[in-house]
C-alpha cells in the first residue's frame, strides 16, 4: 500500500512539473510588446546664403548655381546622456539609425522658399529623441563631383566685374554633432509621427558676410572672395584645392582650410570636426 502511495505521489510531482514547464515555455514564446515607431527624415541645408545669394565681407555679390557635397555614413542617435560637441566626449547611443551609401546633394537646389534637401527618409524607426548626428563628406566617384568632396559653381560680381567660378575641394571631413540648435527643436519622434534632423552647412564661414561688422569673428576668420578673384583669368575661375594651396598666401589658405573644416553644423549647433583619410580607394 505504501509503495502505491509513493508511486502516486511521484506521478503527481512529475505531472505538476510538466504543467509548470509548459507554462514557462508558453511565456517564453509570447510576442514581445510592440516597439513604438515613427518616420525620421534626414535633410541637408545650405541656408539662404546658398539659395538666395549674399554679399561677401569684401563686397562681392555671390550667387550659386550648384553646391554639390558628397555625403556618406550619415547616422542619427538617441544619446543618453545628451552629446555635447564642446565636451570632447563620445556619443552614448541607446538607438541609432544610419545609412552608409554615398549620396550627392545639391545644396543650391530650389529657391529661397525651398525646404532643405531631403537626403533620406527612414520608415518605422524607434520613437524617441534623436539628439545627435554624424556624417562624413568624401570624394565622389561620378560627375559632377568625381574625385571631389565639395564643388561650388556660381557667379561673383563687383564694380562691373563678373567672375564665373568653379571651386573644387577634395579634402574629406567628418562631423559629429549634438542636438539641433535653432528656432525650432528637431529630432523628437513621437509614435506614429514624423520628425526631421538637419545637416547644416555655413558657407558664410568661407566668404564672410557684409551684413556683419568687419570685426565680427565670422569676417575676421573668413577668406572672403577677393583672394579668389585675384586668381581669375578672363572672367573665369576654375580651381582645385591643390592650386589654392600654391596660389593663395599662407594666411589666406589657412583661413580657407579652417572655414571648410567648420562648415558642418546642426542649425547653429557646433560639431566635433576632423579631416579623414581617402575612404574611396
What is the arithmetic mean of pLDDT over 212-217?
96
Average pLDDT along the chain: 89
Whether residue 168 is found in the same domain as residue 242: yes
62 located within any domain: yes
What's the CA gap between 198 and 183, in Å, rounded? Answer: 13
How high is the pLDDT of residue 121?
97
Average pLDDT over every residue of 167-175: 98
Specify the higher pLDDT residue, 165 or 110: 165
Note whether 127 and 163 are same-domain residues. Answer: yes
Q: Are residues 175 and 265 in the same domain?
A: yes
pLDDT at 22 over 50: no
Residue of higher predicted confidence among 185 and 250:
250
The pLDDT, as a whole number, for residue 113 is: 80
Res. 257: pLDDT tops 70: yes
Question: 114 and 164 in one domain?
Answer: yes
Considering its fold, how many domains does the chain have in total? 2
Domain residue limits at 9: 1-30
Q: Are residues 46 and 22 in the same domain?
A: no
Question: Over 80: is that where the pLDDT of 15 sits?
Answer: no
pLDDT band at 35 (very low <50, low <70, confident <90, very high): confident
Q: Is pLDDT at 250 greater than 90 in this prediction? A: yes
Cα end-to-end distance, the chain, whole Å: 85
Claim to verify: residue 6 and residue 46 sit in the same structural domain: no
| Position 11 in a domain | yes
Task: Return the higher-pLDDT residue of 44 and 9.
Answer: 44
177 class by beta-carbon count within 10 Å (0-12 exposed, 13-18 middle, 19+ buried) = buried
The reported pLDDT for the residue numbered 277 is: 58
> Both 17 and 70 in a single domain?
no
Task: Please state the rounded mean pLDDT for residues 61-81.
Answer: 98
**pLDDT for the residue 122:** 97
Same domain assignment for residues 17 and 114: no
pLDDT of residue 92: 97
Q: Which residue has the higher pLDDT, 179 or 28?
A: 179
CB 20: neighbour CB atoms within 10 A?
10
Residue labelled with grid coordinates 556683419 = 212
Share of the chain above pLDDT 70, in %: 86
Q: In this model, does residue 81 exceed pLDDT 90? A: yes
Q: Look at residue 87 and tell me whether its pLDDT is greater than 60.
A: yes
Is the pLDDT score of 25 beyond 70?
Answer: no
Contact between 158 and 61 under an 8 Å Cβ cutoff? The reply is yes
Angle at 145 between CA 205 and CA 59, to 5 degrees: 30
- Whole-angstrom Cα Rg for the chain: 28
281 lies in a domain? no
* Mean pLDDT (whole number) for 202-209: 97
- Residue 187: pLDDT over 90: yes
pLDDT category, 24, cuts 50, 70, 90?
very low
Is there a single domain that holds both residue 77 and residue 194? Answer: yes
Whether 105 and 239 map to the same domain: the answer is yes
Q: How confident is the model at residue 6 (pLDDT cuts 50, 70, 90)?
A: very low
Amino acid at each position: 500500500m505504501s509503495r502505491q502511495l509513493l508511486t502516486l505521489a511521484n506521478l503527481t510531482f512529475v505531472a505538476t512539473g510538466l504543467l509548470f514547464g509548459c507554462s514557462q515555455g508558453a511565456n517564453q514564446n509570447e510576442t514581445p510588446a510592440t516597439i513604438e515607431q515613427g518616420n525620421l527624415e534626414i535633410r541637408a541645408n545650405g541656408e539662404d546664403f546658398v539659395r538666395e545669394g549674399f554679399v561677401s565681407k569684401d563686397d562681392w555679390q555671390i550667387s550659386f548655381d550648384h553646391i554639390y557635397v558628397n555625403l556618406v555614413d550619415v547616422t542619427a542617435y538617441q544619446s543618453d546622456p545628451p552629446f555635447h560637441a564642446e565636451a570632447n566626449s563620445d556619443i552614448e547611443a541607446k538607438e541609432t539609425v544610419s545609412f552608409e551609401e554615398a549620396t550627392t546633394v545639391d545644396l543650391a537646389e530650389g529657391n529661397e522658399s525651398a525646404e532643405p534637401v531631403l537626403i533620406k527618409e527612414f520608415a518605422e524607426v524607434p520613437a524617441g529623441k534623436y539628439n545627435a548626428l554624424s556624417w562624413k563628406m568624401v570624394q565622389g566617384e561620378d560627375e559632377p563631383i568625381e574625385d571631389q568632396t565639395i564643388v561650388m559653381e556660381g557667379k561673383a560680381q563687383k564694380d562691373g566685374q563678373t567672375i564665373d567660378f568653379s571651386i573644387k575641394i577634395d579634402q574629406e571631413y567628418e562631423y559629429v554633432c549634438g542636438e539641433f540648435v535653432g528656432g525650432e527643436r528637431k529630432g523628437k519622434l513621437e509614435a506614429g509621427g514624423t520628425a526631421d534632423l538637419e545637416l547644416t552647412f555655413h558657407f558664410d564661414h568661407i566668404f564672410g558676410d557684409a551684413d556683419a561688422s568687419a570685426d565680427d569673428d565670422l569676417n575676421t576668420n573668413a577668406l572672403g572672395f577677393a583672394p579668389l578673384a585675384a586668381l581669375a583669368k578672363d572672367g573665369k575661375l576654375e580651381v582645385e584645392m591643390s592650386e589654392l594651396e600654391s596660389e593663395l598666401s599662407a594666411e589666406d589658405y589657412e583661413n580657407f582650410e579652417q572655414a571648410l573644416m567648420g562648415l558642418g553644423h546642426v542649425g547653429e549647433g557646433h560639431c566635433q570636426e576632423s579631416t579623414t583619410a581617402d575612404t574611396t580607394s
